[in-house]
Structure 1
């Protein structure tokens, strides 16, 4: 026999947040050179809570299962909303520039103590959505350093490196205690290096190119852990790129290439219908970019 089920859920979910975000910074400059300083800062961070709108259809499905005699797996409040994220951020660093501006360097050390950090997660079952949840407490510590060398008007070399150790301090996902595990989607190492050469062209015609620009660069990132249990990860990988372009005050044309070595890597991890997937990164790409000022 057929049975008609009438589900008419009415209600209203509302969240309101008011936050005071102080920031204190101390800076000391020396040698009367612009950009030469050391600093220290303390700031409070905040990210508002919200609602997981993708999960409303799943909540309706679970309610229907309840009418069929199958118990609901979770209540709407568990998956529809998530709490604000709050943090205390501590940073010290320095900026240094030589008098002739040939060398420029920056260094920073940071520590972030975060409570209720918002994390992307994928509910169990046949749902295709993803939700935002809150971890109990996390901390991130690391350093960033960059260096630029410009020996002349035609050459410019730059490099930067960042290290981050981001871990759970207090978090239980309902199955196990994840204290000490690395936070998902937070790369441990980031690296960048670039070399530029500018070749001026002596032309007497306004429509002719003023210079040719050459660039070679390398980007590195990883390892990255994709889940809170650290069972799935992407190892450190590098991407090689290069470009050559002609430049005029009114236009430019650049031939560029990315991931020239065809490195295979993953950029995202997700779960759909109970199955896990890794999204591959972009393969080798070559293109031309044209810009015209009107």
Structure 2
């Protein structure tokens, strides 16, 4: 019945759009976004790129009130973010990493700077020019750990125009403690020396009381948030052909970590509450990055050089039993990444469009885990592995598009990717497992050489409509079991591979007033990285082993519609259907032989959609309304923990002038209850979960110049 309703709804939407645009309509486009993207590392029209792309312009981000990436993915079909107070891995088309991985199969870049850990992929959005969500493997141009896709965040660059913005938002959660959420931001940019030297500055702060209460201590706001981030850009254009920019940014987060509640069992608690009894749960996160970008425009070619450094550190304390027991764990990750990329590309318009590049990086990653018990008789750690991982890599990549005939385009790309990885884990405390030595130490060197091809064939049906067929290889790097390794044979795991196939069509009608894009896709994954309970752990249920024991596939469809139906009114709708299947996932554990064959992948909603409208009246009145939804999904490959389908309704009503805006808004209007994380407590049958935000109402004041 749900499928019939969805099909009927799509048909009615198509009919309305056809009636809204008379055949003779040829007036200029009014409201739709700029369609320029850099998905293939050069500026192109998104409608000509043979990749499924969801595009968010600065105006769309502002109109919908999108504050971070967790809100962006709600407007992106077949994309899910598994978010808690610390990590936020992004799952595209059902492709996710194993539970304890700090690497995500979805790449994340801000201004060509890689954010390599899954703890880094949910930054606040401020002074953003656009966001590009690329679906399907992007390894040919971006390399490792882009097996599912990639997200590009492009910030606003300074120029000759003096521009600035100040914004303040005040919101209140609809929960027992009515916690307040305040945000403030400011940005300014313009010329220091006209046509030569420019400066841009931006800063943003968030202060949230949270909406959860700890029943064991009576404390409110155990999920409070304190965020501060800033960015500066200096841009220099001494010649018409030369553009040099240096950017530097920082971020700091000091949050509570009381976000997990037990859904069943004797320590279960109700909505908006936890039952931890631990006053020390929290997260401290700090990051900074710097990059130097040099662009030179030659005669028929362009040169780009990007030098970057990314430094990130996170420490957080989590409750181990998620109730009022005495055990807790401290986690820590620090990552320092240096990279250099140089690429040369052709100017657009010729028979051959080409790009060739070199990339090199050096990355040092430190990990630590400290499991303790507050009972007086325990004075040391139960389990205290400390890891050090050094990775050096380089790559040569190229992509060529051949305009075979007037309407045919063939794209072929290939990347040679090399990595040398050195890993060491030392555990000096094994009080929980007296049968093990008092000190465990593991070290091993890994080396990988991969070829990552991509092919796409496109045909222009008309000047504004095309179809394409593509195939690309995906790759998720191998690594180390840094947290729970007990023996040398379980210390490492190998890479994961996939092939993704896509048939799509991109269409613009009525002088860009109507955009309809759609695709069908199929993803086949082999050597799937999975975590299993190690049978050699002698009854210790929390000792996972990481194996390449999985084979899975996913397939589905996506449809994107935008329509400028009348002056001031934009309608939009995005739809996704996703089917996943575990073909092979059988292993021996300390609970016997486990077989997940035929099950669905975790965090892969069966469908996703968003429908909405944005309206601006000449009087200054502004209105935005949207409904977003995710179909049912499971939180584990055993398919024991299920989140039912849910929908969220968001409203915004405001008044805008040339320099001042005032907007009233409401998120999750009907206070829908849903979970972003579902997990089982050590194979006990007790479910722990992180719930999504409740209804929140607020006001935003904005001044621009």
Instruction: Tell me if structure 1 keeps the 8 A contact 2:530–2:550.
Output: no
For residues 582 and 647 of structure 2, the distance between their equivalents in structure 1, rounded to whole angstroms, comes to: 27
Change (3 A) 1:256 1:11: same
For residues 587 and 628 of structure 2, the distance between their equivalents in structure 1, rounded to whole angstroms, comes to: 34
For residues 700 and 519 of structure 2, the distance between their equivalents in structure 1, rounded to whole angstroms, comes to: 35
For residues 86 and 122 of structure 1, the distance between their equivalents in structure 2, rounded to whole angstroms, comes to: 23
Shift of 1:83: 2.5
Instruction: Tell me if structure 1 keeps the 8 A contact 2:636–2:679.
Output: no
For residues 610 and 506 of structure 2, the distance between their equivalents in structure 1, rounded to whole angstroms, comes to: 18
Match of 1:289 in 2: 700
Instruction: Tell me if structure 2 keeps the 8 A contact 1:90–1:112.
Output: yes
1:183 equivalent to 2:601? Answer yes
For residues 437 and 530 of structure 2, the distance between their equivalents in structure 1, rounded to whole angstroms, comes to: 35
1:44 equivalent to 2:473? Answer yes
Instruction: Tell me if structure 1 keeps the 8 A contact 2:529–2:550.
Output: no
Shift of 1:159: 0.7
Match of 2:572 in 1: 158
- Partner of residue 113 from structure 1, selected from 511, 518, 524: 524
Instruction: Tell me if structure 1 keeps the 8 A contact 2:668–2:694.
Output: yes
- Partner of residue 583 from structure 2, selected from 147, 153, 169: 169
Match of 1:206 in 2: none
Partner of 2:446, secondary structure, is: coil
Instruction: Tell me if structure 1 keeps the 8 A contact 2:521–2:557.
Output: yes
- The gaps in structure 2 that reach 5 residues or longer are 1-433
- Partner of residue 139 from structure 1, selected from 532, 553, 566: 553
Match of 1:65 in 2: none
Shift of 1:176: 2.9
1:21 equivalent to 2:452? Answer yes
For residues 595 and 551 of structure 2, the distance between their equivalents in structure 1, rounded to whole angstroms, comes to: 12
For residues 265 and 122 of structure 1, the distance between their equivalents in structure 2, rounded to whole angstroms, comes to: 28
1:192 equivalent to 2:613? Answer no
Shift of 1:248: 4.7
The count of corresponding residues between Structure 1 and Structure 2 is 261
Match of 2:131 in 1: none
For residues 185 and 248 of structure 1, the distance between their equivalents in structure 2, rounded to whole angstroms, comes to: 42
For residues 438 and 540 of structure 2, the distance between their equivalents in structure 1, rounded to whole angstroms, comes to: 22
Shift of 1:270: 2.3
For residues 44 and 30 of structure 1, the distance between their equivalents in structure 2, rounded to whole angstroms, comes to: 27
Instruction: Tell me if structure 1 keeps the 8 A contact 2:520–2:557.
Output: yes
For residues 131 and 151 of structure 1, the distance between their equivalents in structure 2, rounded to whole angstroms, comes to: 55
Match of 1:67 in 2: none
Shift of 1:276: 3.0
- Partner of residue 280 from structure 1, selected from 679, 686, 691: 691
1:99 equivalent to 2:510? Answer yes
Partner of 1:12, secondary structure, is: strand
Aligned pairs for 1:237-256 within 5 A: 237-248=646-657, 250-256=659-665
For residues 545 and 628 of structure 2, the distance between their equivalents in structure 1, rounded to whole angstroms, comes to: 31
Change (3 A) 1:146 1:120: farther
Instruction: Tell me if structure 2 keeps the 8 A contact 1:122–1:271.
Output: no
For residues 135 and 154 of structure 1, the distance between their equivalents in structure 2, rounded to whole angstroms, comes to: 53
Greater share of strand: 2
Partner of 2:484, secondary structure, is: helix
Instruction: Tell me if structure 2 keeps the 8 A contact 1:121–1:130.
Output: yes
Change (3 A) 1:138 1:197: same
For residues 452 and 639 of structure 2, the distance between their equivalents in structure 1, rounded to whole angstroms, comes to: 33
- The gaps in structure 1 that reach 5 residues or longer are 60-74, 202-210
> Could you state the TM-score of these two structures normalised by the residue count of structure 1?
0.78
> Could you state the TM-score of these two structures normalised by the residue count of structure 2?
0.35
CA displacement 1:135-178 (0-9 Å, x = unmatched):
42101110001222221121111111101111111111432322
Change (3 A) 1:23 1:290: farther
* Root mean square deviation of aligned Cα: 2.7
CA displacement 1:235-269 (0-9 Å, x = unmatched):
11101111123445555443221111011111111
Shift of 1:29: 1.4
